[in-house]
Structure formats: C-alpha cells, structure tokens
Amino acid sequence: MNVIRIRRGPSKKKKQEPPKKPQEKLSQDIPLSNNLEENVHFFQMQYQKSTDFITRSFVVGKRNASILYIDGLSDTQKLDEYVLNTLIDNTDFDDRDFLLSVKNKLPISNIKKVSTYLDCMDAIINGNPILLFDGLEEALSLGLVNFKNDRLKSHRLNHLFGVREKVLRNH
C-alpha cells in the first residue's frame, strides 16, 4: 500500500545562521575591562534611562573602586553598614589576591566573583550590588538583595530586563 503525504502550508526549513566570526562575541563573552572608568561608563550607558541606577566611587586600600546597584532592589542600609564602612575603614589588603582579601573582610555570606558585563548586569537587576576595582578584570557580586519592596521591584524589573535584552541584541 502506498502512503501519500500531503503538506499543508509552506515547508518549514530550518534557517541556518551563518557561522560567527571569531571577533563577533556575544555580550556574555565580553569580559570586564581592567579599567574602572571604562567599566563604570559601560553600565552608565546601559542604565542611562533608569533614575534608580546608582554609582558610588571610593578608595579601597590603594585602589579606586565603584559600587553599582539599583536603588530599591539592593539593601542600601546593609550596603553602607557592611560594605562601605568596612572597606573604607580598612587599609590592609593583600595585592597578590586583592579580591580574596576584600571578600574575607566583608561580613556577607553570599559574595560571588563575576567577570563579564552580562554577569554583572544579571546581578544588578537581581538586586545584588557589583563592586568593581581599578586594575582588575573581575568584580564582586554582593548578596544584599532588598526583599521589602516586592511590588516596586516588579515594576522596575520590567524596565531593567528591557535594558538587558537591548544589550544582548546590540552585541
């Protein structure tokens, strides 16, 4: 018995994407720069329409540093108390492993190293402030999420996820 197949509508051929050139990297593959100003500028451009995006610059040991976060998503009281006061008051940091030295001085249990722009953006929109240092291509994501403002958070996240998706499309 012969079986006849009837196709309805146009055939669905899978579109093959052209192979990516080595210099074309996705945003998640772009590492942080070791230049603090360059990193801060990148994030300021991404969040320029967000009035809640905060950048605070200060000195840790002998290095310039910046902390980036979204006001209302991050716990700013703990940020001031646990991070800024601790880091500004201390001057003894090991330059051989500066990030580990900083991490060991902070009384926060959830600290992660991040090394790409996309990892930083994911941390920021999830309420985790990012601590960047001049001369380092890695940053620290600080587990200081503010769980008090859930209604406000959902409104802000809609806008911020749009920023993240825009970056992914442009890179």
The answer to whether position 154 is within a domain reads: yes
- The rounded distance, in Å, linking the Cα atoms of 68 and 141 is 10
The answer to whether position 76 is within a domain reads: yes
Split at pLDDT 50, 70, 90, the class of 114 is very high
- The rounded distance, in Å, linking the Cα atoms of 76 and 92 is 25
pLDDT tens sequence across 77-91: 999 999 999 999 888
Domain hosting residue 73, numbered range: 30-170
Domain tally for the chain?
1
pLDDT tens sequence across 24-49: 444 447 999 999 999 999 999 999 98
The answer to whether position 1 is within a domain reads: no
The answer to whether position 7 is within a domain reads: no
More confident residue, 83 or 14: 83
